[in-house]
Homo-oligomer: A and B are copies of this chain.
């Protein structure tokens, strides 16, 4: 329950009002709450219809996923984004996920094969974008579940947890860059090829495809996000600390 409850599906949580976590995560992923944004609990409480205590807990949990940063005595902020972080994210995924995929291919049984094909089918039946430019939450959900299912048979809860965290992080960049639409069809092909190699138990080819799939995603994000082109830091963080002039940049 640590990383991403979205991957568990609707487990019918008897649910404490800290289902705010999911709404908050969605708003951060969608960019409604931009990177670097200060999270003032008093202002956000009415927005979600809860008090500050559940909001505080939600922020704490999101901090564990790296979507929120905590600074003692200075509250919460949406985690900043940067080109360096995106590249690190990409590299780490390219190193971790093949490990999990290899194990999954080695240990996965017939039931797992069924789940994978089912996940692929559900994903392909969804439209990446719904109607006009806005992106479809259902597709994003199925996309996450597809990748989680693919690695699900690796037998390592820790690897899966790390994958979920990294995937959510990547999804934030992807949504922020709105890297959807045009190049999506090739991504669908990549998914299909990935499943094909996986079901053939061709670990080498599957891992190569996965690595390239991750790289492709990052390329799309970099192409679609103006602020991450060069070595650009976070756009929303470019607030100069005027007022105190003697102090260093903090």
Q: Is the interface of A mostly helix, strand, loop or mixed?
A: helix
A248 sits at the interface (CB 8 A): no
Question: Is B2 a contact of A73 with CB atoms below 8 Å?
Answer: no
B156 touches A91 (CB 8 A): yes
Contact status B157-A63, CB under 8 Å? no
| Contact among B73, B96, B155 for A16, CB-based, below 8 A | B73
Within the complex, the shortest CB–CB distance from A17 to chain B, in Å, comes to 10
Q: Does A92 contact B (CB under 8 A)?
A: yes
Interface size on A, residues (CB 8 A): 37
Copies of this chain in the oligomer: 2
CA distance A61 to B63 in the complex (A): 8
Query: What chain B residues lie within 8 Å of A71 (beta carbons)?
Result: 1
Q: A1-B69, A14-B72 are in contact. Are A157 and B88 (CB under 8 A)?
A: yes
Which residues of A from 85 to 99 have beta carbons under 8 Å from B? 85, 88-89, 91-92, 95-96, 99
Contacts of A157 in B (CB 8 A): 85, 88
Neighbour of A64 across the interface among B14, B53, B64, B89, CB < 8 A: B64
Please name 7 pairs of A and B residues whose Cβ atoms are closer than 8 Å in the assembled complex, sorted by A.
A15-B72, A63-B64, A88-B157, A91-B156, A92-B159, A95-B159, A96-B96
